[in-house]
Amino acid sequence: MVTRRRFISAFCIAGSTALVAGCSSSGTDSNPESDDGETTSDQDENTESTQDTDPESDQDESTEGLDGFDIINTDFRYNFSGGISTTIAVDNQTDKGEGPDSINIRMDAYVGDEVVDSDDTWEDTEGTFSSQNVTIDFELQLENISETAEQSIDDLTEVQILGKRSGSGYSLMESYSGESLRDRVDN
């Protein structure tokens, strides 16, 4: 009887620790360029793996893109209880004469044909007079994809990154198969 109580006690402590670790990964970013209405997430220090790669080398299919904006880097991180965190660096190639604009980047995770999790955020942008482009970082979090949730990273069949300008529809910017995503996170 004592061993069963010790087992239950240890199980409850481990479960509580996983719950607290999972809850601590959400919050707001203290980025001074952020607007009050956009969603951002803090990066959890206990990520299991990180991978920075050139998106053009690992893309599974061609993409149509978003006029004036190109993804130059996508960084996926996977945490046991926190889900998939992503930093997407978008290069703004619009001219200053086009005026201010808002763009939205969305990430959808699929199991088969069903979207099982999604996150998006808006950023205000403005073109540049110089020949040097402006890079905007988008922080997205798929919290429903973790070992403690209904779907894990092993269940994913595809992840799509979509973008849109204010007043327009979404365009596919990048797409990764589940296997490609797992390779990027594992290496």
Domain ranges of the chain: 2-186
Look at 6 and 59; give whichever has higher pLDDT: 6
Highest mean pLDDT among 32-41, 61-70, 75-84, 88-97: 75-84
Look at 168 and 98; give whichever has higher pLDDT: 168
What residue type is assigned to position 170 of the chain? Y
Residue that the structure tokens 């239950």 belong to:
8
Give the confidence band of 148 by pLDDT, cuts at 50, 70, 90.
confident
Q: Which residues contact 50 (CB under 8 A, 6 or more apart)?
A: 75, 76, 77
Return the ∠ at Cα 109 (arms to 62 and 26), rounded to 5°: 125
pLDDT of residue 30: 41
Long-range contacts of 47-50 (CB under 8 A, 24+ apart): 47/77, 47/78, 47/79, 47/82, 47/85, 48/77, 48/78, 48/79, 48/80, 48/185, 49/77, 49/78, 49/185, 49/186, 49/187, 50/75, 50/76, 50/77
pLDDT of residue 175: 96
pLDDT of residue 164: 93
Q: Over the stretch 100-138, which tens digit does the pLDDT of each residue have?
A: 678 999 999 999 999 999 999 999 887 666 666 788 999
Q: What is the strand order of the sheet 83-92 is part of?
A: 49-53, 69-79, 83-92, 134-142
Residue 141 has pLDDT above 90, yes or no: yes
Give the confidence band of 64 by pLDDT, cuts at 50, 70, 90.
low
pLDDT of residue 97: 64
Residue 170 has pLDDT above 60, yes or no: yes
Residue that the structure tokens 């209405």 belong to:
37
